Amino acid sequence: MRSLWHILRLIWRDRGAAMRRGLALTVVVSLFGIGLLALSGWFIVAAGVAGLAGLGTVFDVFRPSAGVRFLAIARTAARYGERLLTHDATLKALASLRVRLLAGVSAADFATLSRLRAGGALNRLTADIDALDGLAIRLIFPALAGLIASIATLIGLWYLVAPVVALWAVGVTVLGGGGVLVLAGRAAFIPGSRAEMRQQALRAGVIAHLRGRAQLVVAGRLLESRQALLDQDRAARRDALQQSRAEWRAAAMLQVMAAVALSGTLILAGQHVLDGRIGPAQAALAVLATLAMAELTAALQRGAAELGRMRDAAGRVVAALETPPTIQISASETAPGLQLCGLSVAPLPGRQPVVANLDLTILPGETVALTGPSGRGKTAVLNTVAGLVPAVSGRVRAGGRVGYLTQRPALIAGTVRDTLKLASPDADDGPMRDVLAACALDLPLDTRLGEGGAGLSGGQSRRLALARTLIRHPDILLLDEPTEGLDAPTAAAMMRGIREWLPQAAILIAAHRDHDLIPATRIVVL
Amino acid sequence: MVPTHAEIAARLSALTAPQRQRLKRAAIAAVVAETLWVLQAALLAWGLAGLATGQPLPLTLMGLGVAGLGLARAGLALFGAAQSEAAADAVIGAARLDCLTRADRRAPEASAPSSAATAALIVDKLAMLRPYLLRWHPAQARVAAVPLLILLISFAVSWAAGLILAISGPLIPIFMALIGLAARDASARQMDEIAGLNAMLIDRLAALIDIRLLDARDTMLADFERRADHLRRRTLEVLRIAFLSSAVLELFAALGVAMMAVFVGFSLLGQLGFGTWGDAITIGEGIFLLLMAPAFFQPLRDIAAAWHDRVAAQSVARDLLADQAAADPQIIGQGRPDAARVGPIAVRGMVLRGRDMPDLDIAPGEAVALTGVSGGGKSSLLLALAGLIPSGGAVRIGGAVLDDKTADAWRAGLALIPQKIHFLDATLRENLAPEASDKEIAAAIQLARASAVVARLPDGLQTRLGEEGAGVSGGEARRLTIARAALRQPAVILADEPTADLDEQTAAEVIEGLLGLHRRGATLIAATHDPRLIAALPRRIEVGP
């Protein structure tokens, strides 16, 4: 529950003024709704009694009928304003929450990022945030407004009709309706949060199934995996059914509660009339006010049923927001080139170091190849130099901007131009074509890539990723197996192109292929 | 191709057709429950009128009648909801099966829709059919029957009262239709925006490390902020129309009630001498008419409240039509286990992505290197041989065309070592071979020279690796995929750059492992640039220009 308050505070802090106005209008809508029916009922019976008594001509018809029209129109206007205001404010607050969440996720450390499954993170950013949109609109506001309107009705009926009638009409609605809502909220709590969990698991499962479908097909396991998803779907639907069953049960119980309140008011107020304590018009006022009050609890019903789902979503979102940003700044030295002093590195923080006490200086214009068998820590050195993983001990001094082509670069969907724009938002077509040429990549800028860069061959993907790195003109360039998947002439042309593009860069290459080594001025074996 | 409104409506009714019986029962329950309110209102009206005129009344009995009718309405509501819910559940389940079956056989190509967008359709959008069937459908039934009934009853009491309803009622559907048209467009745009945002996010989330290295985090966040803000504005656009339509409706409803109250009030005071069929309106009739007025508008308000559900359902139907219409190339075969079937491979006149492929004849047990420039189509050729992208019947295995009937059997004897590594979200052991024994797994890992890799992993075979093998180095991941291939005891191995990411010594070991499988009788076809692998294979085929 604490995370729900946290989210509510965030929304309130973000959009306090709009929220306060929205709340005020919600109260107005509730009060005017009750007032409209109560006044109409009183008016008709009073008019009828006056007519029977032959007092029709002296009865003041204008003020009540003007009141009825005023309440009718004002209520409609207030309702429109309230909905627009609260929805606008909530959507704005949630949009900025979404951005903060992505900022938080993207600031996580390397180890977290490399294990991140896109499907789960997507759930945080979309489904969880969406689940929270009802928090203020469907739960807190109707509850507060309902409470305020109930107190006002209690006072009104107490003085205008009779204390007993007031206590019954408001008491049954607030206590009975509230009780039903609490029970319903509880009944839907567990199935609600389970349904949401299953739906998210299903979404992540479908994404994983589709992304892995080629492998599943070759293994002959596509049907098996699909069947598993369908079982998951059945379970998800069963939980959704259970949640919504709790919801309609609550709706039915609220209807019963409203009928009980109404019949009780009729009997009580009728008795008062027969006893001569109130007039029949006051009894009509009480009966119609009770009828109108049923709307107060009905408005809360959906919010109560969603409570479980909202609480879980809020818990996950708050946890993700609290992830401390851990961006490491790799270096602040000003001497040009790259200097590693007694550097020890591990593949991930907390693991055993794989390289110890590495000393290496690369001057601008130099190219150094780092070789050694697979698993010896070539990639770990580059990750540390790039600032992805902190050094176990020792120091990295980088004089300038670092560019890093990783072993498995991830491309994004869109055109080749979009890909390059991501790295250098202001670049024009000319430099873009030049950098592609430097990478020996003959690809029109408008070529469209699919999800994760699908549609390019392995070698093309690597060269595009390289172009994306080069267009930022790094002073220090780290390349992890840059020629992988390339034929020898293309690889040679690319390596030449890199040097021509960045004549003054200090280049460090992790490699095990001979033709990588051709442009190297020095070779370091791990 | 944009489907017409009629096509969308047809798709929607085809979706719900198998559940027609249940939906009909739910509709009847909704209408009957609403008519019970007429009886409740009559009891209340007579009760209050009796109090006003001083007639003796069975007050307690009437009160209990009101409560009893309320109970009956609640029961009918429960029954109707259960029927609608069961129908919705069945409809959603069937549609999910249909969509999933279509999506998971799409060839892994650039044109295939993003998996996030497809997952959103299957999981989230199809779930929107539930409120449509639960709320819109019964509301539609009520709106067809209840206002007419109340209109007739009101007319029977007083023609003027009936006239008030008859005038203010029909104006509403006209307004609603106009607003509904605008809402449909706005809602469709919003849905597109949601799908676009999801696709963008899933891509960015998978590339977060790259984005950090490119210092593009702020660009990405700004980009996302703009898109999220766009989505917010689109959503508000939809909501504004929805709110406006319900405001118009409530205004008419409120004016209708107010007019009725004023008319009845003045009639009772004796200031209006018209509007009835003879005698003046009694107090009981007056209260009854007043209570009927909101009930006349209530179904219209319900349907306005459910309007968004209907628009959402229509956009789901639109997406389903688009999903069906997309002529994406399909994976050949079903992807189910089958008895392995092998034979000589023959390729004649194959064209992939507009490029001519060489004709091939590869006998069982051969070992072939596919070489050629990067981007020349080697990988596509391997995918086509595996039946993962369509080859237009250009591939024959043992004389039989590789098609939907033969592909699964062909792949049962096939192992594919892809260039882009992908691990399923499961343990390493399940990724390698879920049914293999410890001994078999150990032997395969040994063959792939990956024993040390597994030993280094924190949980050994129970480790869950990242989607693209995060947790192990590139060379280590490559060796694990070779172990995975070996475990299939394949008759044919298709390997795409199997020695990529490997140092000289490991590459030599992996080549030795592949040749070991080959010597046991497996056909080996490897796309490669690696001169050592090319040299180790007896035959070489040049692919591409």
Question: Does B158 share its domain with B235?
Answer: yes
Q: What is the pLDDT of residues B53-104, one digit of tens each?
A: 877 778 888 889 999 999 999 999 999 999 999 999 999 999 999 999 988 8
Q: How many residues can be counted in chain A? A: 526
> How far apart (Å, rounded) are the C-alpha atoms in residues B381 and A461?
18
Question: Does B258 share its domain with B353?
Answer: no
> How far apart (Å, rounded) are the C-alpha atoms in residues B410 and B136?
50
* E-state strands within B109-259: none
Question: How do the domains of chain A map onto residue ranges?
Answer: 2-321, 337-525
Q: What is the pLDDT of residues A328-340, one digit of tens each?
A: 444 455 678 888 8
- Give the pLDDT confidence score for residue A228 in this predicted structure: 92
| Look-up of token digits 């430099």 | A431
Q: How many residues can be counted in chain B? A: 545
Q: Which amino acid is at A448?
A: R
| A45 phi/psi in degrees, rounded to 5 | -65, -40
Question: Does B183 share its domain with B126?
Answer: yes
Q: Which residues of A touch B109 (CB under 8 A)?
A: 450, 454-455
Q: Decide if B336 is inside a domain.
A: no
Q: How confident is the model at residue A147 (pLDDT cuts 50, 70, 90)?
A: very high
- Give the pLDDT confidence score for residue A49 in this predicted structure: 84
Evaluated on CA atoms A459, A465, A468, A469, the torsion sign reads negative
Mean pLDDT (whole number) for A256-276: 90
User: Homologous superfamily of A2-321 in CATH?
Assistant: ABC transporter type 1, transmembrane domain (1.20.1560.10)
> How far apart (Å, rounded) are the C-alpha atoms in residues B245 and B306?
12
- Give the pLDDT confidence score for residue A332 in this predicted structure: 53
Q: Decide if B333 is inside a domain.
A: no
More confident residue, B22 or B457: B22
Pick from A309-313, B180-184, B192-196, B387-391 the range whose average pLDDT is largest: B387-391
> How far apart (Å, rounded) are the C-alpha atoms in residues A52 and A57?
12
Quick check: B404 contacting A, CB < 8 Å? Answer: no
Quick check: B39 contacting A, CB < 8 Å? Answer: no
Interface of B with A in 80-109 (CB under 8 A): 81-82, 85, 89, 92-93, 96-97, 100-101, 103-106, 108-109
Question: Does B268 share its domain with B349?
Answer: no
Q: Decide if B234 is inside a domain.
A: yes
> How far apart (Å, rounded) are the C-alpha atoms in residues B346 and B24?
58
Q: Decide if B340 is inside a domain.
A: no
Q: Decide if B334 is inside a domain.
A: no
- Tell me whether residue A515 is exposed, middle or buried, using C-beta atoms within 10 angstroms of its C-beta: 0 to 12, 13 to 18, 19 or more: middle
Mean pLDDT (whole number) for B447-464: 81
Quick check: B232 contacting A, CB < 8 Å? Answer: yes
> How far apart (Å, rounded) are the C-alpha atoms in residues A49 and A284?
12
Quick check: A125 contacting B, CB < 8 Å? Answer: yes
Residue B24, pLDDT above cutoff 90? yes
Q: Which residues of B touch A113 (CB under 8 A)?
A: 208-209, 212
Question: Does B396 share its domain with B293?
Answer: no
- Give the pLDDT confidence score for residue B132 in this predicted structure: 92
Q: Decide if B337 is inside a domain.
A: no
Tell me if A220 and B235 make a contact (CB, 8 A cut-off): no
Q: What is the pLDDT of residues B341-379, one digit of tens each?
A: 888 999 998 888 778 888 889 999 899 999 888 777 888
What CATH number is given to the structural domain containing B473?
A: 3.40.50.300
Question: Does B295 share its domain with B237?
Answer: yes
Q: Which residues of A touch B70 (CB under 8 A)?
A: 255-256, 258-260, 262-263
Q: pTM of this prediction? A: 0.78
Residue of A nearest to B243 (CA): A80
- What percentage of residues in chain B have a pLDDT greater than 70? 95
Q: Tell me if B291 sits within 8 A of B297, measured CB to CB.
A: no
DSSP bridge pairs for A405? A479
> How far apart (Å, rounded) are the C-alpha atoms in residues B379 and A409?
19
Q: Which amino acid is at B47?
A: G
Q: Which residues of A touch B127 (CB under 8 A)?
A: 199, 240
Q: Tell me if A199 sits within 8 A of A236, measured CB to CB.
A: yes
> How far apart (Å, rounded) are the C-alpha atoms in residues A152 and B517?
85
Closest partner residue to A284 (CB to CB) among B48, B466, B473 is B48
Quick check: B62 contacting A, CB < 8 Å? Answer: yes
Tell me if A450 and B118 make a contact (CB, 8 A cut-off): no
Q: Which amino acid is at B40?
A: Q
> How far apart (Å, rounded) are the C-alpha atoms in residues B496 and B382?
8
Mean pLDDT (whole number) for A226-255: 89
Q: What is the pLDDT of residues B122-174, one digit of tens each?
A: 988 898 899 899 989 999 899 889 999 999 999 988 888 888 888 877 766 67
Among B297, B325, B353, which residue terminates a domain?
Answer: B325
- What percentage of residues in chain A have a pLDDT greater than 90? 18
Lowest-confidence pick of A262-271, B34-43, B234-243: B234-243
Residue B541 CB partners (closer than 8 Å, separation 6+): B358, B360, B368, B369, B370, B371
Q: Decide if B64 is inside a domain.
A: yes
Question: Does B67 share its domain with B176?
Answer: yes
Tell me if B232 and A457 make a contact (CB, 8 A cut-off): no
DSSP state of A396: E
> How far apart (Å, rounded) are the C-alpha atoms in residues B20 and B18?
6
Q: What is the pLDDT of residues A416-462, one digit of tens each?
A: 898 888 888 888 898 999 999 988 888 888 888 877 777 787 788 88
- Tell me whether residue B17 is exposed, middle or buried, using C-beta atoms within 10 angstroms of its C-beta: 0 to 12, 13 to 18, 19 or more: exposed
Lowest-confidence pick of A279-288, B302-311, B489-498: B302-311
Question: Does B404 share its domain with B302?
Answer: no
Tell me if B261 and A460 make a contact (CB, 8 A cut-off): no
- Give the pLDDT confidence score for residue A265 in this predicted structure: 93
Lowest-confidence pick of A23-37, A231-245, A389-403, A468-482: A389-403
Q: How confident is the model at residue A264 (pLDDT cuts 50, 70, 90)?
A: very high
Full domain range(s) for residue B52: 5-325
Mean pLDDT (whole number) for A123-143: 82
Q: Tell me if A360 sits within 8 A of A339, measured CB to CB.
A: yes
DSSP bridge pairs for A1? none
Closest partner residue to A255 (CB to CB) among B77, B103, B371 is B77
Tell me if B85 and A106 make a contact (CB, 8 A cut-off): no
- Strands, sheet with B414-417, edge to edge from the N-terminal-most edge strand: B414-417, B492-496, B523-527, B367-371, B539-542
The ipTM estimated for the assembled molecules is 0.84
Residue of A nearest to B74 (CA): A252
Quick check: A220 contacting B, CB < 8 Å? Answer: yes
Q: Decide if B332 is inside a domain.
A: no
Quick check: A122 contacting B, CB < 8 Å? Answer: yes
Residue A513, pLDDT above cutoff 70? no
Fold entry, domain A337-525: Rossmann fold (3.40.50)
Tell me if A457 and B213 make a contact (CB, 8 A cut-off): no
> How far apart (Å, rounded) are the C-alpha atoms in residues A455 and A460?
10
- Give the pLDDT confidence score for residue B2 in this predicted structure: 67
Interface of B with A in 137-176 (CB under 8 A): none
Closest partner residue to B374 (CB to CB) among A210, A410, A460 is A460
What CATH number is given to the structural domain containing B184?
A: 1.20.1560.10
- Give the pLDDT confidence score for residue B195 in this predicted structure: 72
For residue A409, give the nearest of A470, A462, A343, A488 by alpha carbon: A462
- Give the pLDDT confidence score for residue B398 in this predicted structure: 86
Element (H, E) at B343: none
Q: How confident is the model at residue A56 (pLDDT cuts 50, 70, 90)?
A: low
> How far apart (Å, rounded) are the C-alpha atoms in residues B342 and B488?
14
Residue A99, pLDDT above cutoff 60? yes
Q: How confident is the model at residue A200 (pLDDT cuts 50, 70, 90)?
A: confident
Q: What is the pLDDT of residues B389-436, one digit of tens each?
A: 888 888 898 888 888 888 899 998 888 888 777 787 788 888 888 788
Question: Does B22 share its domain with B165?
Answer: yes
| B30 phi/psi in degrees, rounded to 5 | -65, -40
**Mean pLDDT computed over every residue of chain A:** 84
> How far apart (Å, rounded) are the C-alpha atoms in residues B507 and A322?
45
Closest partner residue to B254 (CB to CB) among A76, A258, A469 is A76
Residue of B nearest to A73 (CA): B251
Q: Tell me if A355 sits within 8 A of A381, measured CB to CB.
A: yes
Residues B266/B271/B276/B282 CA torsion (nearest 10 deg): 60
- Give the pLDDT confidence score for residue A117 in this predicted structure: 64
Tell me if B471 and A115 make a contact (CB, 8 A cut-off): yes
Residue A83 CB partners (closer than 8 Å, separation 6+): B239, B243
- Strands, sheet with A522-525, edge to edge from the N-terminal-most edge strand: A402-405, A476-480, A506-510, A367-371, A522-525
Closest partner residue to B336 (CB to CB) among A222, A252, A371 is A222
Q: What is the pLDDT of residues A269-292, one digit of tens each?
A: 989 988 888 888 899 899 999 988
Residue A168 tokens read as: 């019954």
Number of other CB atoms surrounding residue B56 within 10 Å: 7
Q: Which residues of B touch A448 (CB under 8 A)?
A: 110
Residue B495, pLDDT above cutoff 70? yes
Quick check: B59 contacting A, CB < 8 Å? Answer: yes
Q: How many domains does chain B have?
A: 2
DSSP bridge pairs for B369? B526, B540
More confident residue, B287 or A189: B287
DSSP bridge pairs for A345? A355
